[in-house]
Structure 1
Amino acid sequence: MIDPHIQGLLQAMAESGFALPDPITPSSLRATLDNPISGPPVEIAKQVDISITAEKRSIGGRLYHPAPGQVLPVVLFFHGGGWVHGTLDMFNRLCATLSSHANCAVLSVDYRLAPEHPFPSAWEDAAASLHWVKTNHDELGIDPRRIALAGDSAGGNLAAATAQLAIGDQSVVHQLLFYPALDGRCNSSSFNAEHVGFLSSEQMRWYWEQYAPGELREDARVSPSLSTDLSGLAPATIIVAGNDPLHDEGVAYARSLEQMGVEVALYDYPGAIHGFASLLGLVPLADEAVEKAAQALQTAFK
């Protein structure tokens, strides 16, 4: 079952010539999918590109701040794209909306991409960005005691893995995961079904091979759902889509968190597809999910 608004949008895109590339290569995916979906602009008081320094490298970033001059909590956001593609521009509207609606700053991180930079590069950049935010909070106008980790798809993987790294860190107060990639074994029921939209099971398996081939996926930093101890983890909001290879692993992770005493809210949208939050302003279901996410952040920061 597909939400009729999403179905209409997919049909219009297909009629305009959009299709996933065949064969799948890094360059073909970047050319096809690294173009932001056109939608209503989102107003934000401050939006500026910055540089996150980590050891001997520099990581790109974009800061959104709805009230310059005020010190606000911050969301550290990791974009989607299978660790292979994805840009700050692609998630511009989503980040600006979260910033505006949750009344918080958002720092979107342009981490290194595979296959040029496989694991642990993206994970290292995510961890380094958390450290950098804390040490540079004054110039950013953020409260280092109220940090949320958020991500979309592969970015949800990085947010979840960074949250596990930060267990015991009282400054990390929430994790917000949009249809996260959490289990490199790729063996769930939803993974073994085919789905319409922006992500196929074959495509997701290919992403995993680029980022963390073979036995690397048994590492909990790569597959956060394989962690054996999640107690003490920051509370979570997990948003999943029914027509998505990653649906079942998101649901399973929410249940695992609950069993280990972690506060978690799961929002399951049966009619949605992978990546649907980026359709905000175009699809009512996306607007609803993003508003739920913003409300969760507001609550966490209070």
Structure 2
Amino acid sequence: MPPAHPDAEALLELIRAAGRPAFETLSPTEARRVYAAGRTVLQPDPVDVAETRALMAGTVPLRLYRGVGTMPAEVLPCLLYLHGGGWVFGDLDTHDGVCRRLANDARCCVVSVDYRLAPEHPFPAAIEDAAAALAWVARNAAELGIDGARIAVGGDSAGGNLAAVLALMGRDGSLPRSVFQALLYPATDLTMASGSYARITEGVPLTATTMRWFIDHYTPDPASRQDWRASPLRATSLAGLPPALVLSCGLDPLCDEARHYAERLAAEGVRVTALHLGDHIHGLLTMGRLIGMADGITTFVAAALSDAWRTPPGATP
């Protein structure tokens, strides 16, 4: 395993000292409790935004954020955000801090999606909810103060997986087309075929064994892992997708599949910004109280979004 950044190593030592159990040793209910409890330890205090609002896209709960400095009547670009948590845990609150920062730093509207979780709701429930949320936001853009021509999708980990699938669905016409995809240490191949699964087997919160636990809950039928809606890396073509930011971390079993996804996007004609943090662990964006790099990376993601929204589709730069 690559050497860890000092901040990451200090965090790992804190986890070891606390005796936090591995997620795969817990029931999903227990894992949700442990994950939620870590929020106050790992995340900085949430920043103020101009507005938050609870919404419903049919049966799917959403939370809308408008960045500081935006005016109530201002029409804003939008990021539809899908939270991480291995499709098993995570919710609107666990990623509230990230969404607030992105709304402020990108001076935009962020809509966070509280999709259904496995194992109670296995694949494809999460993607069905994410798709319903995107369609609803696009359909109601004017009422929400959103520019319907500037909707991006994004998410971390499992949420990055869902965002990549939404981008594919938009390209193929079954959803509104997104203008950008922010894929933050995403899962892209649930068959666990990449080499980083053999490298990252112990010593970090997300190991290959932990990932197997998540995947088994989300896709209990192994055959479904070949479906591009579960494993977007297995899509026949990535051509024609919107520009992408793909973040990967070296101490992460998802490292190689994230980097491979970025390489395939570029090879198939998609503009890609690929950012690799070789000495960091999976999930760092929700660990900003202890990992100093998290603040700068969140700012970078916001800058990439702002750049994508800078020139409207079809306009001359």
Check whether TM > 0.5. Answer: yes
Counterpart for residue 162 of structure 1:
166
What residue ranges of structure 2 are gaps of 5+ in the alignment?
311-317
Counterpart for residue 237 of structure 1:
245
Retained in 2: the 8 A contact 1:20–1:32? no
Tell me the amino acid that sits aligned with residue 209 of structure 2: E
In the alignment, does 2:7 pair up with 1:2? no
Distance across 1 between alignment mates of 2:236 and 2:88: 28
Q: Percent identity among equivalent residues?
A: 40
Q: Deviations over 1:63-86 (max 9, x none)?
A: 110123211000000001111111
Pairs within 5 Å for 1:1-302: 1-21=3-23, 23-35=25-37, 36=39, 37-53=42-58, 58-66=59-67, 67=70, 68-167=72-171, 171-193=177-199, 194-212=201-219, 213-302=221-310
What residue ranges of structure 1 are gaps of 5+ in the alignment?
none
CA drift at 1:20: 2.2
CA drift at 1:14: 3.3
- Relative distance call for 1:285 and 1:38 in structure 2 (3 A) is closer
CA drift at 1:13: 3.7
CA drift at 1:253: 0.4
Q: Deviations over 1:73-111 (max 9, x none)?
A: 000000011111111111011011011001110000000
- Relative distance call for 1:195 and 1:271 in structure 2 (3 A) is farther
Tell me the amino acid that sits aligned with residue 301 of structure 1: W
TM-score normalised according to structure 2 size: 0.90
CA drift at 1:168: 5.8
RMSD, matched Cα: 1.5
After TM superposition, which residue ranges in structure 1, 4 or more long, deviate above 6 angstroms? none
Tell me the amino acid that sits aligned with residue 196 of structure 2: S
Tell me the amino acid that sits aligned with residue 127 of structure 1: A
Q: Deviations over 1:230-262 (max 9, x none)?
A: 111011001111100000000000000011000
Tell me the amino acid that sits aligned with residue 96 of structure 2: N
- Relative distance call for 1:122 and 1:22 in structure 2 (3 A) is closer
Aligned pair count reads: 298
Retained in 2: the 8 A contact 1:280–1:290? no
